[in-house]
Amino acid sequence: MQANHSALSGKNVVVIGGTSGIGLATAIAAAQLGATVWAAGRSAEHMDKATAAINAAGVQVKLVQLDTHDEPGMTALFSSIGHIDHLVSAATGGTRTLKPFIEQTQAQFEAAFGKLWGYAKVARTGAPFVSKDGSITFVSGAPARRFKPNMSALSAVGGAVENMVRSLAVELSPIRVNVVAPGIIDTALFDWMGAEKTDRVAAMTQGQLVRRIGRPEEVASALIYLMQNPYATGTTVDVDGGQLLS
């Protein structure tokens, strides 16, 4: 996935969920390749941390406080930009419940689908502003095709996201629509583990082919690749350390 500076230089890139984790790494990477970048996120705390990370990277990214479910807010942002070359959404958009399916309430199971609804809103509001030779890219996850106990909601949502991407690739053509499926990535998702994080993550990843947690920048490189490759659409790119094969 060798980056081509000229492919993003001068392009307008918008990253929803772009103030932390994979989204922030993508926003910074796009800016380093010469794009004009807007990164939107809902958390004020993430906005402050994103500002520090962007400054440390020595790039310019325009930060916007915005939720993926705020359709009027997204429409206002997209309208203010006017022309979008590449639109990315890495926003979680929902609440994840990790427990056996029959022990989840219907409300808990449905809450996970906030990710799908958020992506649908991004696509619906954003597509009219995306260049015909541009792209829309989402983020699913290895559970879409790697099934483990207690992860039924994540698997169902990830599968729905990947199917929606293929449907939109057909409907929105010639705009390209793709998705990246990460494995276990070192983001704020695991911060709740506290001092146990290192040991617990090591246990989670010891069975996969690459025996370590992934970095947000490694997933961002796949998102950048899909922006830059004009022949990729309806595609799922796995960046999971070989989790699907283990």
Q: Which residue has the tokens 């440390």?
A: 56
Q: Are the beta carbons of 68 and 20 closer than 8 angstroms?
A: no
- Please tell me the distance from the alpha carbon of residue 27 to that of residue 37, in angstroms, as a whole number: 6
- pLDDT at position 194, please? 75
- Percent of residues, the chain, with pLDDT higher than 70: 96
- pLDDT at position 93, please? 82
The DSSP 8-state label assigned to residue 181 in this structure reads E
Whether the predicted pLDDT of 115 surpasses 70:
yes
**pLDDT (average), residues 107-111:** 95
Domains parsed from the chain with CATH numbers: 5-238 (3.40.50.720)
- Please tell me the distance from the alpha carbon of residue 172 to that of residue 203, in angstroms, as a whole number: 42
pLDDT band at residue 96 using 50, 70 and 90 as cut-offs: confident
- pLDDT at position 2, please? 47
**pLDDT (average), residues 88-102:** 91
- pLDDT at position 6, please? 61
**Token couple for 63:** 């930060």
**pLDDT (average), residues 177-201:** 82
First to last CA, the chain: 23
Residue 215: exposed, middle, or buried by beta-carbon count in 10 A (0-12, 13-18, 19+)? middle
